[in-house]
């Protein structure tokens, strides 16, 4: 069975392609960009998808997703997480190790990959833990996890506080040339903070997490990366100073890459007003200047990629006192429209946004995805960037509905998501 995508505007930043043409998919791979569609339209074995007026790009790659399985299947499963990804135009997702048990050894990695192969609609690549049980003490089975299929290591959510342990992790991963992915946060400085420290936290009487608690760790991790020569990837950058630190590090040649979430470039801590637990995440939503710095970082390339930090939690878990609610929001199904706002606001071009969702994230973790090169796995998304959409959490494919964007009117509708030559989602 083959698929011909007819007449769309093909944007593939990995090859610098931006033109209206056809895409032929055969045997699960990108076959060619035929000039004429006529021949294939007559062929009964070819499914023709009319993409006139639509964008055809490599499927999106999200390098920061929490799939919750094993252990927290009431929030999300590998299956529902993949469904949610497909509905959001993502064909490849990378899942964090903070499951129960923690993905700190090859058997958990294998379990996740097996589940993903049998139940998941999209490509799943796991991240292994840096330390056993994400406890920050002794190194996890990094080599074995790498062999089993992990593409990076991270103690996401539980930052490695001991700098010496971090140093050894960064040294050790050089043997496999995978990055250490850092959730940069000084847990002592954060204390029991639940939102950004600033005027809003003072008004609301909530304990704040200062930007400095991110900045000091970004700074430490950059220094340790410099010391070790390892590839450091910094998760969900949220503060102005962190953007500055990363910019300077890149300038002097440190191997550092960084991501930003759609919520950190869209919202500020004002969204916490009236104690909306769907505006509670870690790092927290920051002030206006920080949000602008994140946008500026995306623009000048300091922040390489957009990643969602998709963090599903059930409604019951979120309908509690603000202090008791878990951190995190779902992000896979709102990422495209929120990112396209950057195009509308003339921050990035459409091609740049697509790059930050495709070839750039793929390159950080060497996934060989996020491209329409001939012979590459046929991971494709077809979307309409002009189509108005109203975010409705009830229509989410994710098991969880914890979003602060419910009811927002944005633009950008996913029409088709194709993974390895198979349509896995169509609107």
Partner 1 sequence: MDFNRRHILGLEELSAEEITLILDTAESMKEVSKRDVKKVPALRGVTVCNLFYEPSTRTRSSFEIAEKRLSADVLNFTLSHSSVSKGETLLDTARNLEAMGASVIVIRHPMSGAPWLLAKELDSSIINAGDGSHEHPSQALLDLFTIREIKGNIEGLKVLVVGDILHSRVARSNIWGLLKLGAEVRVAGPPTLIPSHIENINVKTYYNLEDAVKGVDVVIMLRIQMERQDSEFFPSLREYARFYGLKREKLKLAAKDVVVMHPGPINRGIELSSDIADDAGSVILDQVSNGIAVRMAMFYLVASGGGNS
Q: What residues make contact with partner 1 under the rule CB under 8 A?
A: 197-199, 201-208, 210, 274-275, 316, 319-324
Cβ atoms of 379 and 22 within 8 Å: the answer is no
351 vs 34, 264, 333, 359, 377, CA distance in Å?
Answer: 22, 21, 20, 11, 21
Residue 333 CA to residue 311 CA, distance in Å, equals 12
With contact defined as beta carbons under 8 Å apart, do 108 and 102 qualify?
A: yes
Task: Output the CA angle 318-321-323, nearest 5 degrees.
Answer: 95
Q: How far is the CB of 25 from partner 1 (least distance, A)?
A: 48
Give me the active site residues, please.
309
CB of 213 to partner 1, least distance (A): 13
Query: Smaller CB distance to partner 1: residue 205 or 375?
Result: 205
Beta carbon of residue 321, minimum distance to partner 1 (angstroms, whole number): 4
Supply the minimum distance, in Å, between the C-beta of residue 280 and partner 1. Answer: 11
Report the 10 Å Cβ neighbour count for 326: 17
How many other CB atoms are found less than 10 A from the CB of residue 27?
Answer: 10
Kind of pairing between the strands at 46-50 and 2-12: parallel
CB of 314 to partner 1, least distance (A): 12
Q: Which is nearer to partner 1, 207 or 296 (CB)?
A: 207
197/214 with CB nearer partner 1: 197
Name residue 12's beta-bridge partners: 17
* Backbone φ and ψ of 142, nearest 5°: -65, -45
Pick between residue 208 and residue 297 the one whose CB is nearest to partner 1.
208
Alpha helices in 52-99 (DSSP H): 78-87
Secondary structure letter of residue 398 according to DSSP: S
Strands 195-196 and 305-306: unpaired
| CB 210, min distance to partner 1, A | 8
Q: Are 156 and 210 in contact (CB under 8 A)?
A: no
Our CB check for partner 1 shows the closer of 149 and 191 to be 191
Instruction: Give the residue with the Cβ less far from partner 1, 128 or 210.
Output: 210
| Spatial CA neighbour of 164 closest among 143, 190, 136, 192 | 136
Largest distance between two CA atoms of the chain: 67
């Amino acid at each position: 069975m083959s698929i011909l995508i007819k007449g769309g505007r093909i944007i593939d930043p990995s090859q610098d392609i931006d033109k209206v043409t056809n895409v032929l998919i055969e045997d699960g791979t990108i076959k060619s960009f035929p000039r004429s569609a006529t021949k294939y339209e007559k062929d009964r074995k070819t499914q023709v998808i009319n993409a006139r007026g639509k964008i055809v790009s490599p499927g999106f790659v999200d390098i920061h997703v929490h799939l919750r399985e094993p252990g927290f299947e009431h929030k999300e499963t590998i299956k529902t997480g993949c469904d949610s990804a497909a509905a959001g135009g993502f064909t490849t997702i990378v899942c964090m190790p903070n499951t129960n048990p923690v993905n700190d050894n090859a058997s958990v990695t294998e379990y996740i990959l097996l589940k993903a192969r049998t139940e998941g609609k999209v490509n799943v690549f796991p991240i292994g833990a840096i330390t056993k049980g994400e406890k920050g003490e002794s190194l996890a089975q990094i080599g074995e996890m790498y062999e089993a299929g992990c593409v990076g290591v991270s103690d996401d959510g539980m930052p490695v506080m001991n700098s010496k342990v971090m140093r050894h992790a960064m040294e050790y991963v050089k043997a496999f040339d995978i990055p250490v992915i850092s959730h940069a946060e000084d847990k002592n400085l954060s204390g029991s903070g639940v939102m950004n420290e600033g005027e809003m936290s003072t008004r609301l009487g909530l304990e704040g997490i200062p930007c400095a608690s991110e900045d000091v760790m970004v700074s430490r991790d950059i220094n340790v990366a410099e010391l070790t020569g390892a590839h450091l990837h910094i998760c969900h950058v949220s503060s102005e100073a962190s953007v500055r630190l990363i910019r300077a590090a890149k300038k002097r040649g440190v191997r550092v890459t960084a991501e930003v979430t759609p919520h950190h470039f869209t919202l500020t801590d004002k969204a916490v007003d009236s104690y909306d637990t769907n505006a509670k995440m870690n790092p927290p939503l920051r002030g206006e200047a920080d949000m602008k710095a994140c946008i500026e970082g995306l623009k000048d390339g300091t922040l390489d990629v957009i990643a969602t930090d998709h963090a599903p939690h059930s409604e019951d878990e979120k309908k509690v006192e603000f202090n008791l609610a878990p951190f995190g929001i779902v992000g896979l199904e709102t990422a495209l429209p929120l990112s396209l706002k950057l195009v509308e606001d003339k921050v990035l071009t459409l091609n740049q946004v697509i790059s930050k969702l495709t070839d750039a994230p793929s390159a950080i973790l060497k996934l060989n995805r996020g491209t329409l090169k001939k012979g590459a796995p046929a991971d494709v998304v077809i979307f309409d960037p002009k189509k108005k959409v109203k975010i409705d959490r009830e229509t989410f494919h994710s098991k969880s509905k914890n979003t602060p964007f419910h009811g927002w009117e944005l633009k950008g509708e996913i029409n088709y998501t194709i993974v390895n030559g198979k349509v896995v989602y169509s609107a």
